[in-house]
Amino acid sequence: MTHRDIEVNGVRLHLAEQGEGPLLLLLHGFPESWYSWRHQFAPLAAAGYRVVAPDQRGYARSERPAAVDAYTLLHLVGDVTALIAALGEGPAVLVGHDWGAPVAWSTAALRPDLVRGVAGLSVPPLPVSGLPPLALSRERFGEGFYQIYFQRPGVADAEFARDPGSTFRRVLFSGSGDRPGAERPQAWVVPDGQTLLDTVPEPEKLPDWLTEEDIAAFVADYAGHGEHAFTGPLNWYRNIDRNNELLTAFAGRGIDVPALYVAGDRDMVSALIGPDALRGILERLTPRLYGHVTLPGAGHWTQQERPAEVTAALLDFLRGLDG
């Protein structure tokens, strides 16, 4: 695996890459980095692919634009399209997890000429705009819903940056299939007068899929940015309503390339959507759906909690694309 920086769409992005062959872009989610794909690099590269995982705009080792409105989905899709062009090996297969999934789905919907296949982990292909408007989330879950909580300037930023090691332990464990009560996924809601990290205690013992070395790797990726280490990632959430405004013209647009969806049955995202609604979304927006894989016992951190199963699903999908 090699690491380098590249400037695309006016922003410097850090890349991890391995292998040669058709381009496969892995897009991480919140609050992670390229390192969330650590288990997928070697097997996908060995199967004959050029595997590239960027730290996306505002994350980890990549550049952090100062303006909040520099983190819209149009900017993020622009980063991916510019990256495909800069790497010179398109069209690409995109794989996105968590926030990386809306970026992958939206790129496939808006630029199918650059995408020959797309896989989303955890987050299904919502209608291009990314995430539901904040008013709907506020009506359903209340003012303490984490996406609403993240709108407060500087609050979660300082909270997460105070002790990044503790932040990663708490957030990764709380979203996993190993947390107490994980078989009954619930929305992430902050009670009045508490902080978000108050609601997710630090685990006494990490689950088997997560080590202290992994925590240290994430912390190292975010080192050197002080109290602003998480501001870029949080700014993605601060553009939810702006995304809906900017992408209104594309609402309901389907994804006209082969697609794969993978999620754990203990993932808060897919559980809150519900199996019937999820099935309807996939049928409506991904007419060329290759597969819908459910991972028993897995929570939100799909490719980290179930690396072998996720890699196997991706390789099967890639074989279907390439014959």
Q: What is the pLDDT of residues 10-24, one digit of tens each?
A: 999 999 999 999 999
- For residue 289, the cross-strand partners are 259
Q: Which of 55, 98, 157, 221 is catalytic?
A: 98
Cα–Cα nearest to 164, from 39, 5, 32: 32
Is 322 or 118 the better-scoring residue by pLDDT?
118
pLDDT at residue 250, as a whole number:
87
Is 272 or 255 the better-scoring residue by pLDDT?
255
The answer to whether residue 75 is catalytic is no
- Would you say residue 238 has pLDDT above 70? yes
pLDDT at residue 129, as a whole number:
65
Task: Please say whether the beta carbons of 255 and 125 come within 8 A.
Answer: yes
Alpha-helical regions (H) of the chain: 41-46, 73-87, 100-110, 134-141, 146-149, 155-161, 164-174, 212-222, 231-237, 240-246, 268-273, 275-285, 302-305, 307-322
- Would you say residue 185 has pLDDT above 90? no
Q: Which of 14, 28, 97, 300 is catalytic?
A: 300
- Would you say residue 59 has pLDDT above 70? yes
In angstroms, rounded to a whole number, what is the distance separating the alpha carbons of residues 211 and 148? 31
Question: What is the rounded average pLDDT of the residues 226-233?
Answer: 94
- Would you say residue 150 has pLDDT above 80? yes
pLDDT at residue 213, as a whole number:
98
Please state, rounded to an integer, the average pLDDT across all residues of the chain. Answer: 95
- Would you say residue 128 has pLDDT above 80? no
Q: Which of 17-31, 165-179, 268-282, 296-310 has the lowest mean pLDDT?
A: 268-282
- Would you say residue 127 has pLDDT above 80? no
pLDDT at residue 130, as a whole number:
67
Question: What is the rounded average pLDDT of the residues 185-194?
Answer: 91
Q: Which domains does the chain have, with CATH numbers?
A: 2-322 (3.40.50.1820)
Task: Please say whether the beta carbons of 248 and 296 come within 8 A.
Answer: no
Residue 30 confidence class, pLDDT cut points 50, 70, 90: very high
Proportion of the chain above pLDDT 90, given as a percent = 88
Among 122-126, 215-219, 275-279, which range has the highest average pLDDT?
Answer: 215-219
Q: What is the pTM of this model?
A: 0.97
The answer to whether residue 3 is catalytic is no
Rounding to the nearest 10 degrees, give the CA dihedral for residues 139, 142, 147, 148: 100
pLDDT at residue 44, as a whole number:
98
Is 225 or 29 the better-scoring residue by pLDDT?
29
Exposed (0-12), middle (13-18) or buried (19+): which is 181, by Cβ within 10 Å?
exposed
Residue 293 confidence class, pLDDT cut points 50, 70, 90: very high
Residue 27 has what DSSP assignment? E
Task: Please say whether the beta carbons of 269 and 238 come within 8 A.
Answer: no
DSSP 3-state assignment of 109?
helix
pLDDT at residue 24, as a whole number:
98
